[in-house]
A and B are shown apart, each in its own frame.
Chain A
Amino acid sequence: MPYLYELFWEVRWQWRLLMAQPKALLNPLLFFCLITLLFPLALGHAPDLLRQAAPGLIWVGLTLSVFLILPNLFMPDLQDGTLRLWVACRRPLSVYVLAKWVTHWAFFVLPLILIAPLLGVSLYLDLSQSWLMMTLLGFGSFAMVGIGTIGVAVMQKGHYNPFLLAVLILPFYVPILIFGAGSLQPSSESMAFANGLLFLAGLVIFTLFLAPWAATQMLKLTVAQS
């Protein structure tokens, strides 16, 4: 139980750290709105085409927005020495990784999921499906941020390389995209949603076990080299 208490404490303080700069939320939020709203403008009045493509477009927008927030995860703490203190004071780094993951997802990604149905209106998305879509987006993006923690932990001190990060983790985002967007297609049968949800929920559990451990090992190496 001390571990859970420690985790709860750290989540609360990481949340406070994010709330100290609420303006940072605008960056991914505006990016997500922009990228989704550009499609109806570019494709013109084509309701059928847009309705067909809407789930995919929203998923692509969310994936790119998640990509935008990943550098915010560990880079500030690597640069100001907080992570060296974590290692030197032997606090469990998995607590740190989990707290960063949960708070960053809740602060940056959850608002995007909440406005996704509104953006869906511009894409002629069937609004009766919006609850299903939000559930899938939630599970998928949670796993995405978790996989992202491993990728960002590999990055060297201060040298954030977006291209290298994309090469490292985008392949792991592909199945999330395929299952997430595929099970929302208007043509797909009713079982597709359940299958997609099961896959994404399983992936979340798998990532919950793997990512804190893997990111901890990588962060230890990165701190030792810095």
Chain B
Amino acid sequence: MLWLQGPNGIGKSSVLASLSGGLPAEKGQVGYPGVEILPIAMFASHTAWLGDQNPIKPGWTVWQNLTYLSRFYCSQTVDPSALKGQLQAQNLWAERHQSAVCLSFGQKKRLMLAAFLLSRQPVWLLDEPAVGLDQTARHALAGHMLEALDAGKQIIVTSHEPFWQTLPLLNPRCIKLDLCAFSSPETGIREAF
């Protein structure tokens, strides 16, 4: 697990976006234990990306939104019982027939997490996953991250608050990476990566 640190605007989200393939990178190679080093464009197929925006359609119900979003993280059609399990885990099952326009910011984030956790990719890219989440949800998210690490997945996370430190098991497995060390005014962050 890699924790990207740095002040606002230094390029944490851009690093995640280029790893996910959303931002084309000129050059670069990525590797992690168990996989040979790949060019950055090929690496994108290993990643599942959770962005900082919540693309939730206000005209749809919570259930419809989740079904639509699940298509992004799972290439096959997802079994409704799996969707139900995710909604229950995120505490949104009671709101499934409500219009998504009624959801609060934290609930939207939880809905995105419900879709994201369906992914089977070996690398997770989490961009500020804890913004808007309450203590219980943060704790649950940290639990999911620990499970993923135990299953052999890699996580790269950007966050300004280390919410996972409440889990003692997770804390020692987190490597900090301060992006300030790479960024000099001449070269810029794109060059460093």
Contacts and interface: CB of A to CB of B under 8 A. Distances in A.
A4 interface: no
Contact of B22 (A9, A82, A87): A87
Contact of B45 (A17, A20, A90): A90
Given A16-B64, A81-B51, A88 B20 contact: yes
B68 to A, nearest CB: 5
A80 B24 CA distance: 20
B57 A20 contact: yes
Contacts, number: 56
A171 B60 CA distance: 37
Given A17-B60, A20-B59, A21-B59, A84 B73 contact: no
B59 A224 contact: no
Contact of A77 (B24, B55, B71, B73): B55
Main secondary structure of the interface of A (DSSP, over half): helix
Interface residues of B, number: 25
A139 to B, nearest CB: 30
Given A87-B21, A224-B22, A17 B57 contact: yes
Closest CB pairs A-B (n = 9):
A20-B59, A81-B53, A82-B55, A88-B22, A88-B20, A89-B72, A88-B49, A81-B55, A87-B22
Contact of A80 (B45, B56, B60): B56
Contacts of A16: 60, 64
Interface string B58-76: 0110001000110111000
A107 B104 CA distance: 31
6 contacts: A17-B60, A84-B53, A85-B49, A85-B55, A87-B21, A88-B21
B49 A89 contact: yes
B44 interface: yes
Contacts of A20: 57, 59-60
A13 interface: yes
B59 A17 contact: yes
Contact of A224 (B24, B55, B64): B24
Interface in B1-55: 17, 20-24, 44-45, 48-49, 51, 53-55
